[in-house]
Amino acid sequence: MNKNYFEIPTTQYAVQLVGPSQLRLNKEKEVFQPGPYQLLAKVEAVGLCFSDLKLLKQFADHPRKSKILSGIEQEVLKTIPSYVPGDKPTVPGHEAVCRICAIGDKVRHHKLGERVLVQTDYRELRTANSNGSFGYNFEGGLQEYVLMDERVIMDPKTGERFLIPVNETMSASAVCLVEPWACVEDSYVNPERRAIKHGGKMLVAAEAGHKIEGMREIISGKNAPVSLTAISADAEQRKTLEGLGVPVTWVQNAADAGKEEFDDIIYFGAKKTTIEILNDKLAAKGLINIVTGGKKIGQAVCVGVGRVHYGMVRWVGTPGTSAADAYRFIPATGEIREGEKIIVIGAGGPMGQMHVIRDVCCEAKNILLVGTDFDEGRLESLLKKAGPLAKKNHVQLRMVNSQKTPVKEKFSYFALMAPVGSLVADAIRDSLDKSLINIFAGIPAPTKQELDLDTYIENHCYMFGTSGSVIRDMKIVLSKIESGMLDTNSSVDAICGMAGAVEGIAAVENRTLAGKIIVYPCLHELGLIPLAKLKESLPKVAAKLEDGQWCKAGEEELLATK
């Protein structure tokens, strides 16, 4: 027996993806009734995301649209009508805030009437190449009501809910935008591995004439690999490795080692060809350490930069002879440091704007930030939003059209918003000592790029990337909103109801708006309205904006027009 918070209709407005690039506004989609372990939530607002376009283009081929293979019983999945893997029509939209309006009688962790923020990644529900996700193989938020199952939306490791309770004081827009802001936050606060993986698989390769030093320092009881594969050029190197107390398997050359297999690779040498072979031996979340021993590689090396973001592989090195030295320069996280010189490349887009605003509002002192873009209008829009915040927080802020005025400075922090491998090469070229290179944009995983690893190693650079967010990140962003440190509404550029959602997704694809688009599903016939044009069509709503920025008062006035 279900318990309802208020009367629920039998049909609803919904945007459905029925095939590759085939979006449909369905005005009579069924509203599913929750089963014993399920709940129904009324969607207050949902943000449109550039990631939705990947699903739009790939549809059934998207790794998060495929069938779930583990983490939950298949018989349970058969009872969830909103589970829509493969070529089944889905409802996109993963940036959502909802109100729980009906629950089954066996629901134990959620209550009627709760207002909740949706965490979208079900990382323990594995597909062939990814994981289950809200808005992909489970229906998302571009509908009035969405059905979820409590056996899906609980973290099996921590017992935490994927529906995070939020208070009534914040606007729906501010809450739904926590999800994309949390993805930004994750790139700064995700812990980095600063040592070899305990119980992992290690590969050590050494060229003739290179001493193997620093290994005993990095292999300890807390950081001991379960196996060690080695490539050695001479007897002294073999003796050193065999004395580490770890079983050693010897191979003739790097090509004989397994592909994408090793958690840690340590290379004593400076040969381009060997490094490029080792590049393909790193497992997901693997770490490669290049110990050049005072020698130069002397030419650019082809590196898998796409796997830094999607595979979370990491590259470090030292110009010295001790392998232990390189780990000392790995940061604990990708957080902004005091005195940072930051450049956000592609700052004018929705995610770039979030990075700029997040950085000028961080607590680090003596910050200089340069935002670049090719679009003057986007830069002007961003400066209007971020300028007062930068002044308040004593941050030096500049916006530069780098197509007209190339930036020739060096920086200590690079945030890359475009999925272009050459930007990583440019960042290394323009790096200061201990530069951090945040590869935020999802460069396609197979992408390789020629990089100047000599400069990368000499300047102790560190490139990193993350994908998505976790509950921790969403709670951090929520706390920043509640404390007044951050206003996620600063990234809103347009609003619409269901009638404007398809047009809104096209606007995201064509990059015709600088900021985020918020969809209010309860407003059936409202088309897409940029805030800059709000006064023309909804003057009462426009009058409620705060210096032209979307806010709770504007949202309340908008919803009153229903």
Instruction: Note the pLDDT tens digit of each residue in 164-187.
Output: 999 999 999 999 999 999 999 999
Distance of CA 23 to the CA centre of its chain: 25
Mean pLDDT of 117-136: 94
In contact, 31 and 40? CB cutoff 8 Å:
yes
Tokens linked to 362: 């961080």
In contact, 56 and 92? CB cutoff 8 Å:
yes
Integer Cα distance of 348 and 350 in angstroms: 7
Integer Cα distance of 256 and 438 in angstroms: 33
CB-based contacts of 28, cutoff 8 Å, min separation 6: 11, 12
State which amino acid sits at residue 124.
E
Band (562; pLDDT cuts 50, 70, 90): low
- Residue 110 pLDDT exceeds 60: yes
> Exposed, middle or buried by CB within 10 Å (0-12, 13-18, 19+), for 295?
middle
To which residue do tokens 């030295």 refer? Answer: 325
* Per-residue pLDDT, 514: 82
Q: What are phi and psi of 2, to 5 degrees?
A: -90, 150
* Per-residue pLDDT, 255: 80
- Residue 547 pLDDT exceeds 80: yes
* Per-residue pLDDT, 545: 96
In contact, 120 and 137? CB cutoff 8 Å:
no
State which amino acid sits at residue 247.
P
Mean pLDDT of 495-523: 94
Choose among 44, 268, 242: nearest CA to 142. 44
Model pLDDT for residues 404-415, shown as the tens digit of each residue: 999 999 999 999
Mean pLDDT of 408-436: 97
The one-character DSSP state at 130 is S
- Domains of the chain, first to last: 3-189 (3.90.180.10), 192-330+446-465 (3.40.50.720), 341-445 (3.40.50.150), 487-560 (no CATH)
Tokens linked to 548: 């032209």
* Per-residue pLDDT, 257: 83
Integer Cα distance of 263 and 280 in angstroms: 12
Report DSSP letters for 139-185, one per residue: --SSBSEEEEETTTSB-TTT--BSEEE--SSS-HHHHHTHHHHHHHH
- Residue 137 pLDDT exceeds 90: yes
Q: What is the overall mean pLDDT for the chain? A: 94
Integer Cα distance of 98 and 51 in angstroms: 20
Cβ of 419: how many Cβ atoms within 10 Å? 17
Helix (H) or strand (E) segment spanning residue 289: strand 282-291
State which amino acid sits at residue 261.
E
Tokens linked to 128: 């062939």
Q: What angle do CA 240, 260, 253 make, to 5 degrees?
A: 45
Q: Across the chain, which distance is largest between two alpha carbons, in Å?
A: 82
Choose among 208, 303, 223, 320: nearest CA to 264. 223
> Exposed, middle or buried by CB within 10 Å (0-12, 13-18, 19+), for 405?
exposed
Helix (H) or strand (E) segment spanning residue 390: helix 376-392
Choose among 296, 236, 291: nearest CA to 268. 291
- Residue 1 pLDDT exceeds 60: no
* Per-residue pLDDT, 2: 63
Model pLDDT for residues 50-106, shown as the tens digit of each residue: 888 889 999 999 989 999 999 999 999 999 999 999 999 999 999 999 999 999 999
Model pLDDT for residues 215-263, shown as the tens digit of each residue: 999 997 788 899 999 998 788 999 999 999 899 999 988 888 877 889 9
Integer Cα distance of 367 and 394 in angstroms: 8
- Please give the residue that has the higher pLDDT: either 224 or 10: 10
**Residue-wise over 30-58: b if at least 16 C-beta within 10 A, else e?**
ebbebbebbbbbbbbbbbbbbbbbbbbee
Report DSSP letters for 214-273, one per residue: SHHHH-SSSS--SEEEEE-SSHHHHHHHHTTSS-EEE-SSGGGSPTT-EEEEEEES--HH
Beta bridge partners of 469: none
Integer Cα distance of 17 and 324 in angstroms: 51
Band (455; pLDDT cuts 50, 70, 90): very high
Band (488; pLDDT cuts 50, 70, 90): very high
* Per-residue pLDDT, 175: 96
CB-based contacts of 363, cutoff 8 Å, min separation 6: none
The one-character DSSP state at 203 is E
In contact, 162 and 94? CB cutoff 8 Å:
no
Cβ of 191: how many Cβ atoms within 10 Å? 9
